């Protein structure tokens, strides 16, 4: 007999860069954050990482909404308090954990993060894990840039990446 789908809660939060889709578990942890213009990608990600999750419209915990609202209002350290559940491969988990340790207002290149993880030649693997991150903003994949300082791809679009970095005080072209 097939295991029943895990119910997850879907909420929406208006931000200065679009409406965010917040997916939380019954225990109040954030499982995914994406944008309404990428809702199909969110659904694909949920199927891949959370094994046939069932989405029901329900509000995210007030603490998560408050932390995100405060982050977008300028209190950049608020992301650290958001509890997350991010299933992935061991390598992805290592990358995502390392991303959460990059302070706001700081950037790293893909190569520098690969070196920090003890795999200096794994820049492309870091890039792939970064691009597979289901928790935009909270797992700050926007803080990874090209070795030459260029803003490289961002799942939510380069303009969002530029806005997020400027919001955090990073000078970008």
Is 90 exceeded by the pLDDT of residue 23?
yes
Please pick, among 22, 53, 139, 141, the residue that the annotation labels catalytic. Answer: 141
Q: Dihedral sign, CA of 157, 9, 132, 169?
A: positive
Helix axes 123-131, 90-100, angle to 10 degrees: 80
pLDDT at 87: 80
| Cβ neighbours around 97 below 10 Å, total | 12
For the ranges 3-12, 108-117, 130-139, the lowest mean pLDDT is seen at: 3-12
pLDDT tens digits for 110-122? Answer: 999 999 999 999 9
DSSP string over 39-69 = HHHHHHHHHHHHTS-EEEE-PPPHHHHHHHH
pLDDT tens digits for 50-90? Answer: 655 678 899 999 999 999 999 999 999 999 999 998 888 99
- Annotation marks residue 141 as catalytic: yes
Question: What is the rounded average pLDDT of the residues 26-44?
Answer: 89
For the ranges 3-7, 59-63, 137-141, the lowest mean pLDDT is seen at: 3-7
Is 80 exceeded by the pLDDT of residue 143?
yes
pLDDT at 61: 97
Residue reference for tokens 């895990």: 6
**Cut 0.85: pTM above it:** yes
pLDDT at 34: 93
Residue reference for tokens 């030649």: 121
Structure token pair of residue 80: 């650290």
Q: How far is CA 75 from the centre of its chain?
A: 17
- Smallest CA-to-CA distance from 41 within 131, 165, 147, 153 is with 131
Q: Which domains does the chain have, with CATH numbers?
A: 7-81 (3.30.160), 90-167 (1.10.10.10)
Is 80 exceeded by the pLDDT of residue 24?
yes
Q: Strand order of the sheet with strand 7-15?
A: 30-35, 18-24, 7-15, 54-57
Work out the mean pLDDT of the chain and round it to a whole number: 90
pLDDT at 60: 97
pLDDT at 137: 95
pLDDT tens digits for 144-165? Answer: 999 888 888 788 889 999 999 9
pLDDT at 49: 60
């Amino acid at each position: 007999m097939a295991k029943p789908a895990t119910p997850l809660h879907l909420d929406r939060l208006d931000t200065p860069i679009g409406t965010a889709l917040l997916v939380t578990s019954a225990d109040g942890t954030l499982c995914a954050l994406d944008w309404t213009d990428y809702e199909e990608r969110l659904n694909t990600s949920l199927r891949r990482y959370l094994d046939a999750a069932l989405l029901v419209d329900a509000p995210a915990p007030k603490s998560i909404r408050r932390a995100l609202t405060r982050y977008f209002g300028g209190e950049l350290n608020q992301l650290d308090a958001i509890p997350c559940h991010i299933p992935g491969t061991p390598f992805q988990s290592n990358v995502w954990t390392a991303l959460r340790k990059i302070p706001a207002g700081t950037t790293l290149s893909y190569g520098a993060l690969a070196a920090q993880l003890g795999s200096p030649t794994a820049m492309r693997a870091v890039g792939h894990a970064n691009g597979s991150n289901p928790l935009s903003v909270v797992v700050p994949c926007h803080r990874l840039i090209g070795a030459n300082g260029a803003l490289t791809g961002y799942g939510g679009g380069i303009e969002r990446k530029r806005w997020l970095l400027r919001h955090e005080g990073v000078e970008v072209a």
